[in-house]
């Protein structure tokens, strides 16, 4: 595995502060549910579904309505603070780290487990490509699929 994503906790701690500040700056009040979602998201290395956020919070004893979780994640996504990843039946959400620390995903087509990787050469190819398209490309996602080491025959 190349480009394993490290130094997670520091970056993500900064992310929680940043997200909270951006919300305030955009004129939003602070409430318990949204703060709980941000706390939990800040502790994640990779993407979580809304249901997983719900379950994770309940496991901590912080019971939050699932609707509030969707509303919080949607707002964070619209402010560019989380990335939404469509892979399968439910969307995944993860903290959007500062540019240059993108990562992408490999999904095991047997067990469904999602892992992440970073690859500068891939980012580079996408950057070059983006400049040549007629669209004003703002973001990108790469999803690879295949058997993970545990599932390989």
Partner DNA sequence: GTCAGTGCAAAGCTTTTGCAGCGCG
Partner DNA sequence: CGCGCTGCAAAAGCTTTGCACTGAC
Q: Considering only residues 10, 25, 29, 135, which one is a binding residue for a second copy as defined by CB under 8 A?
A: 135
Q: Considering only residues 14, 39, 74, 123, which one is a binding residue for DNA as defined by CB under 7 A?
A: 74
- Tell me which of DNA, a second copy, none is bound by residue 60, counting a contact when its beta carbon lies within the kind-specific cut-off of 5 to 8 angstroms: none
**CA distances in angstroms from 77 to 56, 58, 66, 127, 146, listed in the order given:** 20, 22, 16, 22, 28
99 contact partners, CB below 8 Å, separation of at least 6: none
Minimum distance from residue 53 beta carbon to DNA (Å): 10
Question: Residue 82: enclosing H or E segment and its boundaries?
Answer: strand 82-86
Q: Are strands 114-117 and 104-108 parallel, antiparallel or unpaired?
A: antiparallel
Q: 65 vs 120, which CB is nearer to a second copy? A: 120
- Tell me which of a second copy, DNA, none is bound by residue 34, counting a contact when its beta carbon lies within the kind-specific cut-off of 5 to 8 angstroms: DNA
Per CB under 7 A, 32 contacts DNA: yes
Q: Considering only residues 5, 39, 71, 87, which one is a binding residue for DNA as defined by CB under 7 A?
A: 71
CA distance 127 to 24: 32
């Amino acid at each position: 595995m190349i480009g394993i994503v490290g130094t997670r906790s520091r970056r993500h701690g900064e992310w929680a502060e940043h997200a909270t500040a951006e919300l305030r700056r955009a004129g939003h009040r602070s409430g318990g549910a949204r703060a709980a979602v941000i706390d939990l998201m800040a502790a994640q290395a990779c993407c979580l579904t809304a249901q997983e956020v719900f379950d994770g919070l309940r496991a901590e004893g912080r019971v939050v309505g699932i609707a509030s979780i969707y509303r919080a994640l949607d707002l964070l996504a619209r402010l560019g603070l989380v990335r939404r990843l469509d892979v399968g039946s439910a969307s995944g959400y993860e903290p959007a780290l500062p540019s240059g620390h993108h990562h992408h995903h490999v999904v095991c087509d047997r067990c469904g487990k999602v892992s992440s990787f970073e690859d500068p050469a891939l980012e580079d190819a996408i950057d070059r490509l983006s400049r040549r398209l007629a669209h004003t490309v703002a973001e990108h996602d790469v999803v690879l699929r295949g058997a993970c080491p545990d599932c390989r025959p």
